[in-house]
Structure 1
Amino acid sequence: MPIVTISRGTLSGGEALANCLKEKLGIPAIAEEVIKEAATLYGISEAEISRQLKEGPKVWERLLGEKRRIYLIALQSAMAEHATKGDFIYHGVAGHFLLQGVPNVLKVRLVAPLNQRIKSVMERKKLSEGAAREYIEKIDEERKQWTKFFYQVDWADPSLYDMVINLENLSLDTACGMILYTLNQPEFKETEEKRRAIANFALACQVKAKVALNERTRGIELEVEAEDGKVRIQGKLYTTVGIFATGLRQSEAEVAAIAKSIPGVREVEVKLRELSVPVE
């Protein structure tokens, strides 16, 4: 049984669909919970992670998006850890991006008519029709800018998903049934190879998060691969030209030491590229 991620606009039925699948499959449905797990795992503010994920990037963050990048790395690691423990349905922010490249993930995009969404917002938020429309447009635009900022894609692009379901002429029960049928197809059969790939992904995410959150190595842009305990790390080290530059070899040694301290890591290879930033 695979993991299911549900992407949707504000009040488009994502939570209801997740609960339907949860009841039929007997696996957990999660959203905000993973933010709490990330905060607990890495000792960072749950409220701050939540705020950073829900708000669109400000002008200065487009230039200096380091904090949000770190929170995303922590969130991805928490999601990966969840994946090693068993299947689940995720209907929070950016699940299909956070588990990119992980096998046995069914990525669903749920679309609902705007008038239906407006009605839901009016009832839940006690807003006028105009205010409800503005609320939806604001949240949708923030999510669109958020995904474009970090992943350089349009979150509504259908090619990002395995299934796109339009609820205009379909009920949630029908949508749920379509997903259940798909999950039973050979493409989503669990194998030992897929389980190993998930474990490797989780280990790579943990290494990346530990390095990104460490004061000595924060700011290094990393790509991490793991295979059965062997970890390969490549990245960019931005240094100032002057007396405060820390040095490439020292940074590589610090990254390696952090990686080796993580349970499950047997071998580490680190290769950083130094890029100098002039100080005026």
Structure 2
Amino acid sequence: MAVICVAREFAALGDETVLELAGLTGYKAIDKEYIEARMTERGIAPEVRAKYDEKKPGFWASLSQDRDDYLHFLRTVLFEEAANGDCIITGRGGFAIFAGVPGVISIKLVAPREIRLQRLKARFQCDDKRAEQMLRQNDHDRRGFHDYFFGIDWNDPVYYDMTINTGKEHPATVARIIDQLRTLIVTEEKEKACLARMNELRLGQAIVTEIVYTRSIPVHFVEADVRGTKVTLHGVANTQSAIDAATAAARKVQGIETVENAIQIVQEFAVMP
């Protein structure tokens, strides 16, 4: 199996290219609407998603528990979908979330600013000023989203296997270019490694969900590093009983045979007046 992550500038024909690519490869397209529906199933309301979806949150939103919930369930949805088989992920920091996973191809679609402005004016039947406002806002939001959630500059080409200028080519042509890259660099060995790693990532998210959201165990900054059927838990807690409860919760997740606990105890302290 393989996963193709497509990052795209606003008005760079990203959705159109993904549609063509899905038809060409038979891969499942994981787009904004699909991700939103899956996150709604997990209790992430539309008004919460609106604060964080491909944008840097405001000050108060950045301090909210909603922020952690959004990122956790975004990762959960993407890991589950990727573990199910071949797919194309549109935006949402997919290339950052799956960084280092074998069998993942990361693509960036760009286009000259003037061409993007022309596309926006044609699509929204608006004037130059309105098109410029939309373009500036979307570029700002997407840059802020990747910087805030992943600490990266999404304009740095080092994060992508290929950057394609869609100002010159039709989405169908761009899709064929991406597919040819896939056939060249995704070997059978990488496909097997991709499937194995995606299952590990899926299990790790399931364990964190069990500890934090299902059982509400008071362990903070929980991470679950799964390798094969073994998981190593990381985080901080105030009591040994919380650590023991987290261990028990991890053991209940199907597919896990061994739990190694690296959660640290950090005693609470009071701030003196």
TM-score of the pair, normalised by structure 2: 0.88
Q: Higher mean Cα deviation, 174-183 or 122-131?
A: 122-131
- Structure 2 equivalent of residue 151 of structure 1: 150
How many angstroms apart in 1 are the aligned matches of 2:138 and 2:24? 30
Any idea what SS the aligned residue of 2:178 has?
helix
How many angstroms apart in 1 are the aligned matches of 2:37 and 2:254? 22
- Structure 1 equivalent of residue 205 of structure 2: 205
Q: Which runs of 5+ in 2 are unaligned?
A: none
Cα distance, 1:148 vs. partner? Answer: 1.0
- Structure 2 equivalent of residue 223 of structure 1: 223
Superposition pairs for residues 20-99 of structure 1, below 5 Å? 20-32=20-32, 33-40=34-41, 42-62=42-62, 64=63, 66-99=65-98
How many angstroms apart in 2 are the aligned matches of 1:15 and 1:218? 41
Cα distance, 1:142 vs. partner? Answer: 1.5
Any idea what SS the aligned residue of 1:235 has?
strand
Cα RMSD of the aligned pairs, angstroms, is 2.3
Contact kept? 1:81, 1:202, Cα under 8 Å? yes
- Structure 2 equivalent of residue 183 of structure 1: 182
Change (3 A) 1:252 1:219: closer
- Structure 2 equivalent of residue 250 of structure 1: 241
Contact kept? 1:5, 1:105, Cα under 8 Å? yes
Contact kept? 2:55, 2:143, Cα under 8 Å? no
Contact kept? 2:251, 2:259, Cα under 8 Å? yes
How many angstroms apart in 1 are the aligned matches of 2:27 and 2:55? 30
Contact kept? 1:110, 1:167, Cα under 8 Å? yes
- Structure 1 equivalent of residue 258 of structure 2: 267
Cα distance, 1:46 vs. partner? Answer: 4.6
Contact kept? 2:51, 2:61, Cα under 8 Å? no
Contact kept? 1:53, 1:93, Cα under 8 Å? yes
Contact kept? 2:44, 2:69, Cα under 8 Å? no
Contact kept? 1:223, 1:235, Cα under 8 Å? yes
Q: Higher mean Cα deviation, 88-97 or 268-277?
A: 268-277
Q: Deviations over 1:163-206 (max 9, x none)?
A: 11122334433322221111111444354333222211211122
How many angstroms apart in 1 are the aligned matches of 2:101 and 2:56? 26
Q: Which runs of 5+ in 1 are unaligned?
A: 238-246
How many angstroms apart in 1 are the aligned matches of 2:67 and 2:21? 31
* 1:113 maps to 2:122: no
Q: Deviations over 1:90-137 (max 9, x none)?
A: 113211122233221110011011122222222333322111111111
Any idea what SS the aligned residue of 1:101 has?
coil
Cα distance, 1:159 vs. partner? Answer: 0.7
Cα distance, 1:50 vs. partner? Answer: 4.5
How many angstroms apart in 1 are the aligned matches of 2:270 and 2:187? 50
- Structure 2 equivalent of residue 7 of structure 1: 7
- Structure 2 equivalent of residue 242 of structure 1: none
Cα distance, 1:19 vs. partner? Answer: 0.9
> Identity across aligned pairs (percent)?
22
Cα distance, 1:2 vs. partner? Answer: 1.6
Change (3 A) 1:36 1:104: same
Number of residue equivalences: 269
Contact kept? 1:207, 1:224, Cα under 8 Å? yes
How many angstroms apart in 2 are the aligned matches of 1:255 and 1:101? 28
Any idea what SS the aligned residue of 1:232 has?
strand
Cα distance, 1:66 vs. partner? Answer: 3.6
